[in-house]
Amino acid sequence: MDIAVIAIVAALASALTLYSGFGLGTLLLPAFALFFPVPVAVAATGIVHLLNNLFKGTLLRKRADWPTVLRFGIPAVPAAIAGAWLLAILGNTPRIFEWTAFGETFGPTGAGLAIGILMMVFAALELQRWFQELKAPPALMPLGGVVTGFFGGLTGQQGAFRSMFLLRADLPAERFIATGVMIAILVDLSRLTTYAASFTAAGLNPAGREGLLVLVGTLAAFAGAYVATRHLDKVTIGAVRYSVAGLMLVIGAAVAGGVLG
């Protein structure tokens, strides 16, 4: 059951990511949270996210605008490490509060509460037209790297903020996509080095069931991205945006309430 859930979600989320620029981490995180504690779920999602971006990066690296990658990506590196470090601290906290329903006791850790609330905030922003049309001034590109890196490290959610800042770079569509992929790789590499220090303590066994689920998620994400490239004209960005945002609201509430993770 767990393999089927991860495979289906990873394939669909990867396809959505190709169209929207965000969505893989958003949808895959709660799927992993069904089976792992939240910090482990974030780490596992990060691995799949990185490998999927490396797969796309091998195809798009020559189209990236490297000055923009460096100006945005270099500040994102320490920020991503800081966010991942904060996640490790919050993940070791006891439940913030508890509540019961249907004979079960639920309650979020510090990590679950923080990630759940932030997911709901991001979802609410995605539903706002002013946020969809928001473009940050080019001078704020390094700040965009810091914001994107920090939230990428803490929650795995980085695509919406990255796109907001990159939109003002006035890059052609292909260069915009390729540049975003390269920046995402830098953020993923940075946060995963921090996650790795606590994988064992958090319960992620690369040689066990957890490693198998990460492998399944990665291969399914590859397949989803490949299939999506052949159906680019059949899905609208608006449909993807609102579907992902709606799911983020529901899942964020479940994580913040301690139902998931």
The DSSP bridge partners found for residue 100 are 105
pLDDT at residue 45 tops 90: no
Q: What is the DSSP letter of 116?
A: H
pLDDT 10s digits, 128-180: 777 767 666 777 889 889 988 998 888 777 776 787 777 777 777 778 878 88
Tell me, yes or no, if the pTM score tops 0.85. Answer: no
Please state the φ and ψ torsions of residue 105, each to the nearest 5 degrees.
Answer: -105, 130
What would the pLDDT profile of 88-103 be if each residue is shown by its tens digit?
A: 777 667 888 888 877 7
- Both structure tokens of 230: 């052949």
SS3 186: helix
Return the residue matching tokens 């052609």.
172
Tokens describing residue 154:
């803490």
